[in-house]
Amino acid sequence: MDQLLIALDVETAARAVALADTLDGVAGGFKIGSRLFTAEGPDIVRTLVERRARVFLDLKFHDIPHTVATAVAAATTLGVWMVNVHASGGARMMQAARDAAHDTAARRGQPPPLVIAVTVLTSMNAASLAETGVERPMLDQVLRLAELTQAAGLDGVVASPQETAPIRRTCGPSFAIVTPGIRGGGAAAGQNDDQERTMTAAEALAAGATYLVVGRPIIAAADPRAAAEDIGREAVKGRT
């Protein structure tokens, strides 16, 4: 299923590659986040790219524009398919990220990666958002950051499935919405872990999600491939 991105939130390259092999043909791509990248470095990205996997490098860059631009350029050189930054870094930072991706890809003669921005982490709720000094409602903040991201020229956002439908209405059909916080039925039912704002795969796609990011319900399952296939079958309901 092209829309299913599986989070390889594991400690070793060996485990990540084994999962990628197991999930070949089921996953539309693989997300490499801070845990695996910190443990194994860029080599795990190169390994998966060389195996023709689509890699979403989920390091959520958030720094001054020049630093973020150099990080995104490095990610582009690795051949990632998608990379993200924090929308709260502001328009100038996001524009620098976009420009770095496109300029680096053009020099290398390759397609640029999708550059997307994180709105509000799915682990946050109204109370934790208020702790950061943001007093507006969660949805208002997410939509404000989505609009800022689109104005900066990025390809889309990361947002919880609960905000997907309003983002789709606000930002239009071509704006990518990547939704973590996906939970399935069966053995995974109710396992929200530290995610606060969740939906099933079918619900998220029905709301307008472009890509679904799923980690623990698949990689922690006794049979990861069967778990991924179950979520894929469920997701089809969101497209019918």
CATH number at residue 152: 3.20.20.70
Write the pLDDT tens digit of every residue in 5-25: 999 999 999 999 999 999 999
> Using 50, 70 and 90 to split pLDDT, how confident is the model at 212?
very high
The candidate with the shortest Cα–Cα distance to 5, out of 207, 201, 234, is: 201
Structure tokens belonging to residue 209: 């999600």
Residue 228 to residue 218: CA distance in whole angstroms: 6
How confident is the model at residue 200, as a pLDDT? 87
How confident is the model at residue 234, as a pLDDT? 79
> Using 50, 70 and 90 to split pLDDT, how confident is the model at 189?
very low
Active-site entry in 9, 37, 60, 77? 60
How confident is the model at residue 112, as a pLDDT? 98
Write the pLDDT tens digit of every residue in 154-178: 999 999 988 999 999 999 999 999 9
Write the pLDDT tens digit of every residue in 51-108: 999 999 999 999 999 999 999 999 999 999 999 999 999 999 999 999 999 999 999 9
Residue 50 to residue 113: CA distance in whole angstroms: 16
Pairwise pLDDT comparison (238 vs 177), residue with the higher score: 177
Dihedrals phi, psi of 166, to nearest 5 degrees:
-65, -35
Is 31 one of the annotated active-site residues of the chain?
A: no
Give percent of the chain above pLDDT 90: 85
In the chain, the number of structural domains is 1
> Using 50, 70 and 90 to split pLDDT, how confident is the model at 185?
very low
12 touches 37 (CB < 8 A)? no
> Using 50, 70 and 90 to split pLDDT, how confident is the model at 190?
very low
Position 214 pLDDT exceeds 50: yes
Structure tokens belonging to residue 99: 């420009």
**Which residue type does 213 have?**
V
Residue 72 belongs to domain spanning: 4-239
Q: Which residue has the tokens 């550059």?
A: 115
How confident is the model at residue 240, as a pLDDT? 57
Ramachandran sector of residue 210 (left: φ over 0; alpha: ψ -120 to 50; beta: rest): alpha
- Cα–Cα distances in Å, from 98 out to 16, 94, 150, 155? 28, 6, 11, 9
How confident is the model at residue 188, as a pLDDT? 42
> Using 50, 70 and 90 to split pLDDT, how confident is the model at 236?
confident
